[in-house]
Structure 1
Amino acid sequence: MRPLLRCALALALGLLLPAASLLAAPPTAPHMLSGELQGAPWRLDVPADWNGDLVMLAHGYEPVGVPRTTPMTANDSTATLLSAGYAVAQSAYASQGWAVADAITDMERLRQHALGELKRVRHTWLLGFSMGGAVTLASLERFPQHYTGGVSLCGANLSGEQIAADLLTTLVAFDYFFPNAAGLPATGLASHEAAVLPQGVLYQGIADALQRNPQHADVLAKRLQVAPDALAGTISLHTLVLHELATRSGGMPAGNLGVVYSGFGDDAAFNAGVQRIAPVPAALADVRAKLALSGALKRPLVVQFNNNDPTIVPHMQAVYPQMAAQAGARPLPHVLPPVGEGHCGFSEAQVVDALKAIQR
């Protein structure tokens, strides 16, 4: 997990500034407004040579408890987007963690506020990184009338139900290959005992277990499509996010009672021995309702990933384009070739290029 890149940005808390609307006349100097809308800090930056287009920038995962400063810190890509002529509005969201549901609401509220400040906007675009990719897709599906198009970069382009199921697979597979690992609860990574472990303790216990049995670690890395040296970080992140989803939804939002697994070596032994977990029905219903994606796009969408991303791995990357095709989306998402390395490893020029690709 790269805590200070676009995917996990510590955004800051601002106070609502006096109304200073950016009126129709072209600005003669850069402007920045910031404030708070129903618990969500926000900022709006407008360049001196504003081209009339607004980018609604959805940041990625921010761990619970990361300090926020005043005014909120701009996303890494803000300066480059401003240099390219775009106004940029961004919300810190009302809550931290896997805050997709809050973020969808907060971004729509901020969009309305930004239009009141800017007065004349030619086009409004969505641009999301990592978790913000899911925010971008959900916002495009729910509010197509408000956007010209969207871009998802290194995006977690999955419904809440599917991402919970993927994360649960990671946890029960680790427990199968590394039972009773020192420093970790005997009840497994999906248990309440694991949920309350400090993240550093959780990571170290996972890393130590992987080191003690490289053969099993290699099987797990290949099945999860993660490089061996990134495996401990991926498993600890998956544990953290699944338990956050459980906290938000009121219980375990995924289960594996009827799942037949493959790709874990001796699949018969794996399916016979892997821990089976039932979802909490109300929690499953909650993520289905609040974190749903249908694929039924009505606006252009550009999607781009990085090479060797340990967080959004290849099988996750293929999900939304397939969903959109099945839903008859028009137009279909345009998937650009992968660039850069790691999670959200884009250069600033590549971010602007992806935005310009959707305009073309």
Structure 2
Amino acid sequence: MRRLFGHALALALLLPATSLLAAPPTAPRTLSGELQGAPWRLDVPATWNGELVMLAHGYEPVGVPRTTPMTANDSTTALLGAGYAVAQSAYSNQGWAVAEAINDTERLREHAARELKHVRHTWMLGFSMGGAVTIGSLERFPQHYAGGVSLCGANLSGEQIAADLLTTLVAFDYFFPAAEGLPRSGLVSREAAALPQGALYQGIALALQRDPARAAVLAQRLQVSADALAGTISLHALVLHELATRSGGLPVGNRNVDYSGFGDDAAFNAGVQRLDAVPAAQAKVRSTLALTGALKRPLVIQFNHNDPTIVPHMQTLYPQLAKSAGAAPLPQVLPAVGEGHCGFSDAQVVEALKAVQR
């Protein structure tokens, strides 16, 4: 599921970078099809252990070509080798389709259970955006799951995600006004949304190169390395514009936000662009992309070192939410492994699943 763009954007960071194991001696049984517009596949190893994994993939930009039948996630082979059946949906919509993905995954779970007939336990396992799909599924359908794993997960509500993305874009516009190749109206504007992603990235990268000192301030505040900064900003623009399109307007505002960490914070707060959320868009995101923290099933969370997509301050939010909501049990956060975004080995993916089983 890592078929994004071929240029040097951070979009390639969105899906897991795992290596494939050798195929088992006996090929698994594979079924595929479509459920209400969502392509799906179900792989069952010859030596099935009776456990079913519902695998939720990460963000797929709108317009990325899809294959028929659906291509398996890179971690499928490792999970099959460990004895698990693996069901995965391509989702009925591309983009930040968390709400649709939760429903598509639940529909597929029902279908897989009928097909397999004797499932002992069902587990959720998601990467990146699929982490939010995993948590949302556990919160809404706890009766169907024994537990779940969120790897490199965007474990945030839609409104939280949108607020972080908006901060990135208005901060770039503050530090780099009227950047060459970019709209004078800023990265949040419709003009920026209409730019090809490659052109947007190039304009951002050029501006950062021309003022390394300001770029360093921005990188430190956003908790990413300098070399990942252009890709992170262009990714944030892509996702926020796509969220706005899906919800019918800007789903979050910053009118009353008191920013800090941008050097001269007084000057920053006085000069940064202020925007209002579109009420209907904000209400839609709050209702369809909410996470409550009210877990009733075990959840294991694990991140990578130096992840420029799910940065440290994002990683702490859901465990805090679960604690305040009285989740039982509380999520278990495993020590970080690997590098980058979703940089897990096959063995680490399987071990995280075994951790939640324990």
2:179 corresponds to 1:170: no
| 1:228 corresponds to 2:221 | no
User: Corresponding residue for 1:52?
Assistant: 50
Report the counterpart of residue 196 of structure 1 in structure 2.
194
Structure-to-structure mapping, 1:263-302, within 5 angstroms: 263-302=261-300
Pick the aligned partner of 1:309 from 307, 310, 320: 307
Indicate yes or no: 2:332 matched with 1:334: yes
Asked whether the 8 Å contact 1:8–1:61 carries over to 2, the reply is no
Cα distance change of structure 1 residues 50 and 168 upon mapping to structure 2, 3 Å threshold = same
Q: For residue 153 of structure 1, what is the aligned residue in structure 2?
A: 151
Aligned counterpart, 2:211: 213
Amino acid aligned to 2:12: P
Q: Does structure 2 conserve the Cα–Cα contact (< 8 Å) formed by 1:6 and 1:75?
A: no
Secondary structure, aligned partner of 1:33 = strand
Cα deviation for residue 65 of structure 1 reads: 1.0
Q: Structure 1, residues 58-81: CA drift from partner, whole Å, max 9, x if none?
A: 000111111111111000000000
Is 1:344 paired with 2:342?
A: yes
| Separation in 2, partners of 1:69, 1:61 | 16
Could you list the structure 1 runs, at least 4 aligned residues long, displaced by more than 4 angstroms after superposition.
none
Partner of 2:96: 98
SS of match in other structure, 1:3: helix
SS for the counterpart of 1:211 is: helix
Q: State the SS of the aligned residue for 1:6.
A: coil
Instruction: Report the Cα distance in structure 1 between the residues aligned to 2:11 and 2:158, rounded to whole angstroms.
Output: 22
Distance 1:169 1:5 in 2: 20
Query: Residue 13 of structure 2 contacts residue 341 of structure 2 at CA under 8 Å; is this kept in 1?
Result: no
Question: Residue 6 of structure 1 aligns with which residue?
Answer: 15
Question: How high is the TM-score relative to the length of structure 2?
Answer: 0.94
Deviates more, 1:63-72 or 1:42-51: 63-72
Is the 8 Å Cα contact of residues 7 and 61 (structure 1) preserved in structure 2? no
* Contact 1:46 1:82 (8 Å CA) reproduced: yes
Contact 1:8 1:62 in 2 (8 A): no
Sequence identity of aligned pairs in percent?
80
Which fold has the larger relative contact order, with Cα–Cα distance below 8 Å and residues 6 or more apart in sequence?
2
Q: Which amino acid aligns with 1:3?
A: A
Alpha-carbon distance in structure 2 between the residues aligned to 1:351 and 1:29: 21
Deviation at 1:295, TM superposition (A): 0.3
**2:11·2:235 contact (CA, 8 Å) conserved in 1?**
no
Partner amino acid for 1:237?
L
Task: Give the equivalent residue in structure 2 for 1:82.
Answer: 80
C-alpha contact 1:8 1:60 (8 A) present in aligned 2: no
Q: Which runs of 5+ in 2 are unaligned?
A: 1-9, 19-25
* 1:138 has 2:147 as partner: no
Structure 1 residue 29 displacement after superposition: 6.0
Whole-angstrom distance in 2 between the partners of 1:69 and 1:333 = 35
Report the aligned-residue RMSD.
1.3
Quick one: which of 115, 118, 128 aligns to 2:116? 118
Q: CA deviation at 1:8?
A: 9.6
Cα distance, 1:291 vs structure 2:
0.2
Secondary structure class of the residue paired with 1:41: strand
Q: Kindly indicate whether the alpha-carbon contact (under 8 Å) linking 2:17 and 2:344 is maintained by their aligned counterparts in 1.
A: no
Deviates more, 1:28-37 or 1:188-197: 28-37
SS in 2 for 1:121: coil
Number of corresponding residues: 342
Contact kept in structure 2, 1:52 and 1:121, CA below 8 Å: yes
Q: Distance in 2 between matches of 1:158 and 1:293?
A: 7
For residue 30 of structure 1, report the CA deviation from its aligned partner: 2.1
Given that 2:13 and 2:340 are in contact with CA atoms closer than 8 Å, whether structure 1 keeps it comes out as no
Aligned to 1:14: none
Helix, strand or coil: the match of 1:168? helix
8 A Cα contact 1:53 1:121, kept in partner: yes
Which of 22, 34, 37 is the aligned partner of 1:36?
34
| Counterpart contact for 1:47–1:86, Cα < 8 Å | yes
The question of whether the paired residues in 2 share the 8 Å contact of 1:255 and 1:279 is answered with: yes
TM-score by length of 1: 0.93
CA contact 2:17–2:343 (8 Å) conserved in 1: no
Name which of structure 1's ranges 115-124 and 62-71 shifts more when overlaid on structure 2.
62-71
C-alpha offsets along residues 268-295 of structure 1, whole Å, 9 cap, x if unaligned? 0000000000000000000000000000
